[in-house]
Amino acid sequence: MPEGSRPPASGGKDSDPPRTVVYVSVLPPGGGIATWTAILFERGLPGGWQSRLVDSRVTTARREFEPGTLNPAELRRAVRILRLLWAELGTAALVHLNVGSFRWGLARDLLGVWLARLRGVPAVLHYHGNVGSLAGEGGTPLQRFLLRRAVRRASLNLVMNEPSRRYLETLVGSRGGAVVSLPNFFDERELASRPTADTASGPARVLFVANLTPAKGVLDVIEVARALPGVEFHLIGVAPDEMGSRLRAAPRNVRIHGPVARAALLRAYREAQLLLFPSREEGFPFAVLEAMALGLPVVATKVGAIPEMVEEGRGGFLCPPDPGSLSAAVRRILDDEPLRQTLGRFNREKALRLYAYPVVAEQLARLYDQLAARTPPARRARR
């Protein structure tokens, strides 16, 4: 099916007038943004909102974990996306641009906001990572300039954690769109009906789900495994070529699975006693969210939204990124089955209460309603 022509998804009544959100985003296969988009398009939004897609997938050959760089192929890709967006603006009530970690994509998204403003369409910028690292503390002066311009020109800026919200509010000042924190969601129809099963009859299992890179904490996981030789550590995720020798040197109680099908991932969650997630940088990680929804305790680092998701001592333990602290937390949970069950139940209840799709989709639809209500009447009449 051609890009920009994907069938609409709607959660409203048939009698509601159609209101269309054009998403500049990607669908699976992919990471968190692709998962977010797939769930939204499958479930639809309440309030008569319909969804259309401008596919921003990468179409050029790039190394898996190499930061994006400007090159002719990327520029052609940006032009393609902006042309498709311009074609959709004539019937759009809103534009929602999902901002990932590709820093120069920020320039494209800024142009997308500008095009939407030319057509009188409110534009939402949705930052799925940690904004400070997107183009902030680790970025160049030009990238910080682009971020500042984008934030001030967007009608609404959505972030996934409190550090990102505070950072953007310093850029907005008294100008630009509002900054609102909105959590990730999960499909409760898929996960809520799959409680975890305790596998006390065999070795305890610790699960790690992320790209197998130092930034995600995989080297810490390996060191924790060395400290706990009687525990199985199951690592699920894509490994870049440069990690090959270090992963091969892992102890025998580490099982490296690579990327797996969805059914296998859900089975791994059910067979594990806890999720270990010592990442160095996150937005609102799906791995932690899904583990919580499936009733797993979590041992993780204090990055991104994780301190908002995992309550210390109630849903798991938050540690500094060092193997000693992580090992102690893992051992504490594995050695205390009543504690493990209590932590898991708390996480499951919290995930269903705060992060299930209907809960977050309702919040998103209300934000859309507020933006649409501020659209000038002349613009609404042209649609």
What is the pLDDT tens value at each position of the chain, 383 positions in all?
Answer: 344 444 444 444 444 456 999 999 999 877 889 999 999 999 999 999 999 999 998 765 443 334 445 678 878 889 999 999 999 999 999 999 999 865 677 889 999 999 999 999 999 999 998 887 665 555 677 777 888 888 889 999 999 999 889 888 887 765 667 899 999 999 999 886 545 555 556 899 999 999 999 999 999 999 999 999 999 999 999 999 999 999 999 999 999 999 999 999 999 999 999 999 999 989 999 999 999 999 999 999 999 999 999 999 999 999 999 999 999 999 999 999 999 999 999 999 999 999 999 999 999 999 999 999 987 654 544 44
What is the structure's pLDDT at 52?
A: 96
Q: Which residues are CB-contacts of 380 (< 8 A; sequence separation ≥ 6)?
A: none
Name which of 143, 133, 77, 138 is nearest 110 in CA terms. Answer: 143
Distance CA 353, CA 373 (A): 28
What is the structure's pLDDT at 376?
A: 64
Distance CA 371, CA 374 (A): 5
One-letter amino acid at 10 equals S
The number of C-alpha atoms within 13 Å of 352 and in the hemisphere containing its C-beta is: 15
Name which of 107, 111, 63, 59 is nearest 83 in CA terms. Answer: 111
230's tokens: 């009687």
Kindly provide the residue ranges of all beta strands, DSSP E only, lying in the chain, ordered along the sequence. Answer: 19-25, 49-55, 94-99, 123-127, 156-159, 178-181, 205-209, 232-236, 254-256, 274-277, 298-301, 316-319
Element (H, E) at 143: helix 141-153
Q: Are 151 and 132 in contact (CB under 8 A)?
A: no
Residue 29 preceded by cis peptide, ω within 30 = yes
Distance CA 97, CA 24 (A): 5
Distance CA 364, CA 59 (A): 29
* Residue 50 β-bridge partners: 10, 20
What is the structure's pLDDT at 296?
A: 97
Name which of 208, 247, 241, 155 is nearest 326 in CA terms. Answer: 208
Q: What is the DSSP letter of 380?
A: H
One-letter amino acid at 15 equals S
Burial class of residue 56 (count of CB atoms within 10 Å of its CB; 0-12, 13-18, 19+): buried
What is the structure's pLDDT at 312?
A: 97
Distance CA 221, CA 198 (A): 21
Q: Are 236 and 268 in contact (CB under 8 A)?
A: yes
Residue length of the chain: 383
What is the structure's pLDDT at 55?
A: 94
Kindly provide the residue ranges of all beta strands, DSSP E only, lying in 160-214, ordered along the sequence. Answer: 178-181, 205-209
Distances (CA, A) of 181 to 46, 162, 167, 324: 19, 7, 12, 33
The region, left, alpha or beta by phi > 0 then psi within -120 to 50, assigned to residue 139 is beta
Distance CA 272, CA 360 (A): 27
Q: Give pTM, 2 decimals.
A: 0.87
What is the structure's pLDDT at 135?
A: 55
